[in-house]
């Protein structure tokens, strides 16, 4: 990460007494058919920032997007979140059914210190995702200080996540969630205690290659699992049957192995697999050597010997990064490897290792296997975490540092 987080000013560095904070939060949460919030993790994650500002004696104007509306459809209204946000924060949240315009100006000016106002979905205006400057300027009128706490959208150069910061040259800061996401990646990639182990799994080599390239200098062990492992196995001459493979990435796979060797990174590929005769929960299954999978069969999870080997590596690790499942964990029949891996990470954490779970499906896996509280940190941002691990400077972070 190139961002110098020592320059990071957070809400803890500012006294909000008598100030209105305009906070970009990420309340893009899943809703059921009755518009109840089914996973409120992201709302809870914004709570420390909001409460700090209220406790100082300030007020909060919250702005967020929800889903991908095309035409201000009511199903994407942030009105649906008012009850959950109020319950979680312990304060009755006010709502205004627009995010710019006279109605909002009035609601903001009526807002008293200690109060919270939630604006309507930012993406009801296409100017938001286009990063429109005029739109950002209109939003900027609703606060004295701009706070970005929306890690989930920090990789987007949208009006409310990046462009708006220009209108607060002296009065902008990191929310506590955004700051802690950055600090936790730093713990893995910069200030890490050795040995450092990265587990990279998931479907495809192509979507993880930039991460692997970026972290090779910083790790001691690289565990590769999931569908992407088969491209490596095939490239090494193994027979992988009908397992997932990216034929055109075999050369790249060998280059990664070569590069890892040069950098003294020990790569651990699966040695056995749970193979299935089709991609389904009702498939016939058996255990096979990873290098000798018969035609008509595909590897959908790592096997028992691999679980032991990966477990031994994790038991010795002091810093662990996990991105991507090692099998098709959505189906119970192929979830064992990912579950055991998660449990071994939890065990290592209990014994003093620092563990970060980041990016999409591995986060879903820790929730599924009830390991959320047993690892050191679970990221709230899928794409944003991936880009940070890839070594990219996120526009939302850059805008606050400039």
328 binds ligand AMP (CB under 6 A): yes
Is residue 360 part of the annotated active site? The answer reads: yes
Residue in 26, 272, 361, 387 binding ligand AMP, rule: CB under 6 A:
361
Taking the complex as a whole, the smallest distance from the CB of residue 232 to ligand AMP amounts, in Å, to 12
Is residue 383 part of the annotated active site? The answer reads: yes
- Catalytic hit among 20, 42, 123, 234: 42
Q: Would you say how long the chain is, in residues?
A: 402
204 binds ligand AMP (CB under 6 A): yes
229: nearest Cα among 343, 310, 311, 320? 310
390 binds ligand AMP (CB under 6 A): no
Alpha helices in 297-381 (DSSP H): 304-316, 336-350, 360-368
82 binds ligand AMP (CB under 6 A): no
Q: What b/e sequence results for 56-73 when a residue is b if at least 16 CB atoms lie within 10 Å of its CB, and e otherwise?
A: bebbbbbbbbbeebeeee
Residue in 56, 255, 259, 330 binding ligand AMP, rule: CB under 6 A:
330
Interface with ligand AMP (CB under 6 A), residue total: 16
Strand order in the sheet with 298-302: 285-289, 272-276, 298-302
Q: List the beta bridge partners of residue 188.
A: none
Residue in 69, 152, 303, 360 binding ligand AMP, rule: CB under 6 A:
360
Q: Residue 7's Cα: distance from chain center in Å?
A: 23
Residue closer to ligand AMP, measured from CB, 96 or 371? 371
**Is 184 in a helix, a strand, or coil?**
helix
List C-alpha distances in Å: 226 to 135, 324, 358. 43, 8, 16
Residue closer to ligand AMP, measured from CB, 360 or 396? 360
- Which stretch, 196-204, 280-288, 310-318, 394-402, contacts ligand AMP (CB under 6 A)? 196-204
- What span, in angstroms and rounded, lies between the C-alpha atoms of 68 and 65? 8
69 binds ligand AMP (CB under 6 A): no
List C-alpha distances in Å: 402 to 151, 169, 237, 369. 18, 8, 50, 41
Taking the complex as a whole, the smallest distance from the CB of residue 116 to ligand AMP amounts, in Å, to 35
327 binds ligand AMP (CB under 6 A): yes
Q: Which residues are catalytic?
A: 42, 204, 360, 383
Contact residues toward ligand AMP (CB under 6 A) are: 202-204, 207, 226-227, 244, 299-300, 324-325, 327-328, 330, 360-361
């Amino acid at each position: 990460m190139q961002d110098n987080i020592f320059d990071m000013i957070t809400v803890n560095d500012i006294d909000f007494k008598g100030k209105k904070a305009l906070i970009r939060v990420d309340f893009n949460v899943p809703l059921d058919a009755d518009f109840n919030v089914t996973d409120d993790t992201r709302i809870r994650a914004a709570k420390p920032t909001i409460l700090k500002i209220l406790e100082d004696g300030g007020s909060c104007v919250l702005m967020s997007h929800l889903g991908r509306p095309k035409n201000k459809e009511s199903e994407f209204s942030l009105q649906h979140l008012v009850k959950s946000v109020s319950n979680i924060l312990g304060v009755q949240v006010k709502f205004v059914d627009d995010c710019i315009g006279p109605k909002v100006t009035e609601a903001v000016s009526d807002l008293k210190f200690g109060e919270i106002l939630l604006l309507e979905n930012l993406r009801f205006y296409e100017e938001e995702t286009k990063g429109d400057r005029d739109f950002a300027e209109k939003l900027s009128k609703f606060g004295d200080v701009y706070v970005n706490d929306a890690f989930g959208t920090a990789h987007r150069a949208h009006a409310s996540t990046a462009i708006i910061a220009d209108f607060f040259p002296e009065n902008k800061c990191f929310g506590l969630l955004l700051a802690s996401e950055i600090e936790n990646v730093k713990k893995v990639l910069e200030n890490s205690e050795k040995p450092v182990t990265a587990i990279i799994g998931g479907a495809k080599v192509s979507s993880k290659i930039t991460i692997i390239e970026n972290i090779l200098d910083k790790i001691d062990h690289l565990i590769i699992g999931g569908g992407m492992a088969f491209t490596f196995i095939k490239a090494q001459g193994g027979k992988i049957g009908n397992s997932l493979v990216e034929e055109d990435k075999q050369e790249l796979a060998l280059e990664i192995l070569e590069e890892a060797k040069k950098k003294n990174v020990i790569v651990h590929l699966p040695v056995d697999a749970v193979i299935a005769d089709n991609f389904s929960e009702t498939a016939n299954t058996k255990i096979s050597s990873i290098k000798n999978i018969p035609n008509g069969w595909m590897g959908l999870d790592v096997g028992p010997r691999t679980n032991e080997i990966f477990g031994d590596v994790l038991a010795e690790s002091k810093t662990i990064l996990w991105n991507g499942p090692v099998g098709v964990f959505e189906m119970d029949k192929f979830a064992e490897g990912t579950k055991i891996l998660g449990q071994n990470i939890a065990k290592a954490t209990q014994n003093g290792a620092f563990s970060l779970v980041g990016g999409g499906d591995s986060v879903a896996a820790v929730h599924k296997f009830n390991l959320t509280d047993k690892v050191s940190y679970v990221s709230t941002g899928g794409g944003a975490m991936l880009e940070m691990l890839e070594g990219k400077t996120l526009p939302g972070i850059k805008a606050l540092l400039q």
